[in-house]
Structure 1
Amino acid sequence: MTATAPSGVRPGPAGTGPEGDAADSAELAGFGYQQELRRRMGRYASFAAGFSFISVLTTVFQFFALGYSFGGPAFFWTWPVVLAGQLLVAACFAELAARYPIAGAIYQWSTRLSTPAFGWYAGWLMVIGRIVVVGAAALALQAVLPAIWSGFQLVGGDPSPTSASGAANAALLGLILLVVTTLVNVLDNRVLTVVNTIGVTAEIVGVGLIVTLLLTHSDRTPGITLHTGEAGGAIGALLIGSFTAAYVLIGFESASEMSEETVNPRRTAPRTTFSALTTSGVCGGLLLLGGLLAAPSLTDGRLATEGLSYVLTSTLGDGVGKVLLADVVLAICAATLAIQTSATRMLYSMARDRQMPCSAMLAKVPRRTGMPAAAAVAVGVLAALLLLLNFLSPEALLAIGTTCIAMVYLAYAMVTGPMLVRRLRGQWGEPGPDEKDETGRPLFSLGRWGLPVNAVALAYGLLMTVNLAWPRQAVYDPSGGHWYFQWFTVLFLLVMMGLGFLVRTVRAQRGHSASDRPPVPALREPTQ
């Protein structure tokens, strides 16, 4: 039994250049949308969108200390486990990217797989989650800049992100970065593509150099990764240690978010989704291993507080170490830009369907730039407001980071869940023989592996959501003085869902409803 994709699937080969762009635009019209964003991105730029969002240099440097402080060297093994789970999720998303090459991927996919109301909540969670991710990424500058030059510590004297002065300085640096990324996001996607491409290339080169230097300066064998920390025993410690990988290995679907700006998206997006995740997975795993093998000491406490910045400057010397840290700064800037771009496209997609407050303004795309400027500014301002929480307490950094990741995992499950239901009902299967991508080749499909891959992907996503949101005092409120940080993720999720319900209720009372959106082409029933 097979299921065909929605109308608009290109039946055969297409040209490149203006003719190919026209065909892509015609397909988008089949989904009820006009081509407003500039379709200029090639395969490498599409890969860069996902790789920049993940940005192993940003997030591994930001969260290495957290994983090590709870899991010890053995937290390394949580990396391949999380990577395997995310690859299963990515496989499901790749099928959807081939059939629905539309901006606002999670929202669009969930809506078409389930109901408009369910899809709206998935999109709502993803918009909020990504706005928080933007803020969390901008905070990563604190883990690197003061290690390069003490003058970057503009507030107080303690650069540790967990100290009061370090947290306040992280917020200040993050605010400066958000101003820059917002400006780039309202200019032109050629500027955006150039910045992302340069950032990704520099990051890949930087990862290669850092890993090579760390492995050639290693003082111990990989057997050290079999040791664990003291917190909560092996299982408890590794569950917390998995936070590092969980924080890093998200955002691979950003290539799909940029589908309306990508040439030949049905062919390109599924492949760049996989390549971004696998490349990041390999690079990140090697960074973790290199850091553990080359660290001057595993017991002096610095690895659990300063992370990889300490390893680089201590092992390679201030000169080489600081040059490599400068490359990390570039990666952080590119990551923040890419995440803000992805959040902007999600917000724009929902506003275009008239599903958000101020939809007319947020969906506006000036013809001169081809960029949803109002949505970009909204994301930047909201992320900046979240950074102000860091002035209140150092624990806010971890609370913000965990909250956004839990929301992203939950939104992922709101796609893989309905997709699994459709598979079980026989409403989703292999594409028909007449369904081709832009090059005339069959659409990406999991074939007979679709059902087991989908089922495990959903189970993994739900378990990881619970793991991230679990209110552990040792993690979220170690000082014991702020109970609300311990429950921050759970409370934030509940508040955001309640706020979403309020938004929908108020809009319904004012005459706005899901019926206001353009018609959604439904999935065709499977054919025998």
Structure 2
Amino acid sequence: MSADRVDDGLAGFGYKPQLQRSLGNFHTFAAGISYISILTGTFQLFYFGFGFGGPAYWWSWPMVFVGQLMVALSFAELAAHYPVAGSIYNWSKRMGSRHVAWLAGWMMLTASIVTIAAVALAYQITLPQISDIFRFSGDDALNAVILGTALIVFTTAVNAYGVKLMARINSAGVFIELIAAVLLIILLAVNITRGPGVVFETQGTGEGRPGGYLGAFLIAALASTYVMYGFDTASSLGEESHNPRRNAPRAILRALIASFLIGGLILLFALMAVGDITDPRIAEGGLQFIVLNTLGSGLGTALLWSVVIAITVCNLAVQSAAIRMMFAMARDNNLPAGRILATVDPKRRTPVVPALVTGALAVVILVVNVGQPQIFTVITSIGIVMIYLAYLLVTIPMLVKRLRGQWPPPDTGGGYFSLGRWGLPVNILGVLWGAGMVVNLAWPRRDVYNAEPPYHWYLQWGAVLFIGIVAALGFAYYWFFLRRGSGVLPDHALDSPEDEPEDKETA
């Protein structure tokens, strides 16, 4: 077995390298930070958090960061050992069993495709505020689908062309996003009109709610919860990165930490800079309104263009992660038409078919928004729950292995990232956090899942019903049709029998 195969982590799964290894340190960092995409998430969801929790909703940002950091630290340790495509799926396979892994991959893949559509809708929140040129229809829902479809077509074409082009566009977009974010922080800071004490104001948002302000805060916290995830993307590109066992863990942690610092300052200074903190338009227009209100139309519009760039590269990164997940499951023959989905273009050395399939499915989901925007909102929220569930299907089996003394494995001698004696408490906190967030995200609140009439019980209970149906039907299909043929496809298997993994069940 070559040293390269040992180092890239593929040999332990029985895979031979097929993807193009061409990404550097910044490329992997950019993939993680563009998936989180601070400008996309904060500008898309600020109105929600502020509307339900007032300025004090800001505290959900550091709260979510600390919880997600526990998960990211565990993922960084896994990435040091297994930097492979479809990271969540393959990590779950190594930590638990192939059945648990399939469910984790299925949840993550389904949620990622939904997320592609959800992120594409963010164009509608920003572009029409820049210019009426981007209003192709008087129906906002239809206009959102038109703009979103155009974005998905672009990201699908880029991802299908090859990882090099994707990485270049993504890295350039992230560079612009980071510069714009820092500039926005500075401009908001020089326009401050009140002190940081504003983050203790609730504006009476807890009145009349079950649990008072705590109940309101838990709803508002979803705005932060919906943003800080996807950092595992840095490892999902591990098979296409140089020295991934060293670079992927750093990229995961740097992406999350940088996003927390930049996003937290943007939110804080926006609350301190807006002219009238009680203006009802803040809960309607969100950060876009604050930027235009504080900085004026000229400079504000320029910064909104940076948000458009951020949305574009975010969608590019989300689809890239979905493609790697589909490819990873397909090469194990764990998806319908697995051989076709796992085919790597010999010239581009990238899985083209998954790019086309994920793009087409995302557009189909997007079309739902035309006639039933409430249903789309439900599906989008459920997608986030499924991602947090997929994370739990990694951290829980990992915790079980720790308690059994089976993790971490013996160091390969490379001095890779390790939590050491902090591994167990970090892992426990990550599991508790993930479980708590799944409950908070899936809780059948009308404000989240059925905010406008007509009110239907199946929409309010949408998270529980939809996730249950997706998991049950998906796993039933796997159990009765896919399971018997599950295994690394010949075109992707290592050449020599002695290179095959020892644990047949988990491989």
| TM tier, smaller | over 0.9
1:104-136, CA deviations, whole angstroms, 9 ceiling, x for partnerless residues?
110001011111111110110010011111111
Aligned mate of 2:205, from 221, 230, 236: 230
In structure 2, list runs of 5 or more residues that go unmatched: 494-499
Aligned to 1:408: 387
> How many angstroms does 1:514 deviate by?
5.6
Aligned to 2:429: 456
Aligned to 1:32: 14
TM-score of the pair, normalised by structure 1: 0.89
Aligned to 2:131: 149
Matches within 5 A, 1:12-91: 22=4, 27-91=9-73
Aligned to 2:277: 298
> How many angstroms does 1:320 deviate by?
0.5
- Provide closer, same or farther for how the CA distance between residues 482 and 296 of structure 1 changes in structure 2, counting only shifts above 3 A: same
1:106 is aligned to 2:88:
yes
1:184 is aligned to 2:163:
no
> How many angstroms does 1:481 deviate by?
1.1
> How many angstroms does 1:154 deviate by?
1.8
> How many angstroms does 1:476 deviate by?
2.2
> How many angstroms does 1:26 deviate by?
7.0
**Partners of 1:72 and 1:208 in 2: how far apart?**
24
Matches within 5 A, 1:115-514: 115-156=97-138, 165-228=139-202, 229-231=204-206, 232=209, 233-429=212-408, 431-432=410-411, 435-437=412-414, 442-483=415-456, 484-508=458-482, 511-513=484-486
SS across alignment from 1:305 = helix
Aligned to 1:13: none
- Provide closer, same or farther for how the CA distance between residues 288 and 520 of structure 1 changes in structure 2, counting only shifts above 3 A: farther
Aligned to 2:496: none
CA contact (8 A) 2:145 2:369 kept: yes
- Provide closer, same or farther for how the CA distance between residues 287 and 400 of structure 1 changes in structure 2, counting only shifts above 3 A: farther
**Partners of 1:57 and 1:507 in 2: how far apart?**
43
- Of 270-279 and 146-155, deviating more is 146-155
- Provide closer, same or farther for how the CA distance between residues 219 and 374 of structure 1 changes in structure 2, counting only shifts above 3 A: same
CA contact (8 A) 1:247 1:401 kept: no
- Provide closer, same or farther for how the CA distance between residues 39 and 516 of structure 1 changes in structure 2, counting only shifts above 3 A: closer
**Partners of 2:27 and 2:502 in 1: how far apart?**
29
- Of 69-78 and 381-390, deviating more is 381-390
Aligned to 1:17: none
- Provide closer, same or farther for how the CA distance between residues 516 and 115 of structure 1 changes in structure 2, counting only shifts above 3 A: farther
AA in 2 matched with 1:238? F
CA contact (8 A) 1:52 1:335 kept: yes
SS across alignment from 2:284 = coil
**Partners of 1:94 and 1:25 in 2: how far apart?**
16
SS across alignment from 2:485 = coil
> How many angstroms does 1:29 deviate by?
3.9
CA contact (8 A) 1:117 1:514 kept: no
> How many angstroms does 1:315 deviate by?
1.1
CA contact (8 A) 2:40 2:314 kept: yes
**Partners of 2:162 and 2:80 in 1: how far apart?**
26
AA in 2 matched with 1:256? S
- Provide closer, same or farther for how the CA distance between residues 430 and 110 of structure 1 changes in structure 2, counting only shifts above 3 A: closer
> How many angstroms does 1:9 deviate by?
11
**Partners of 1:25 and 1:358 in 2: how far apart?**
30
**Partners of 1:466 and 1:141 in 2: how far apart?**
30
SS across alignment from 1:307 = helix
- Of 462-471 and 166-175, deviating more is 166-175
| Total equivalences in the alignment | 491
> How many angstroms does 1:188 deviate by?
1.8
CA contact (8 A) 1:207 1:283 kept: yes
- Provide closer, same or farther for how the CA distance between residues 290 and 117 of structure 1 changes in structure 2, counting only shifts above 3 A: same
In structure 1, list runs of 5 or more residues that go unmatched: 1-7, 11-21, 157-164, 524-528
SS across alignment from 2:465 = helix
**Partners of 1:171 and 1:184 in 2: how far apart?**
20
> How many angstroms does 1:480 deviate by?
3.6
> How many angstroms does 1:223 deviate by?
0.4
- Provide closer, same or farther for how the CA distance between residues 505 and 516 of structure 1 changes in structure 2, counting only shifts above 3 A: farther
**Partners of 1:48 and 1:196 in 2: how far apart?**
7
SS across alignment from 2:285 = coil
> How many angstroms does 1:393 deviate by?
3.0
**Partners of 2:179 and 2:369 in 1: how far apart?**
32
AA in 2 matched with 1:178? I
TM-score of the pair, normalised by structure 2: 0.93
AA in 1 matched with 2:447? A
> How many angstroms does 1:23 deviate by?
5.4
CA contact (8 A) 2:334 2:482 kept: no
CA contact (8 A) 1:24 1:264 kept: no
- Of 305-314 and 496-505, deviating more is 496-505
**Partners of 2:116 and 2:64 in 1: how far apart?**
22
- Provide closer, same or farther for how the CA distance between residues 325 and 521 of structure 1 changes in structure 2, counting only shifts above 3 A: farther
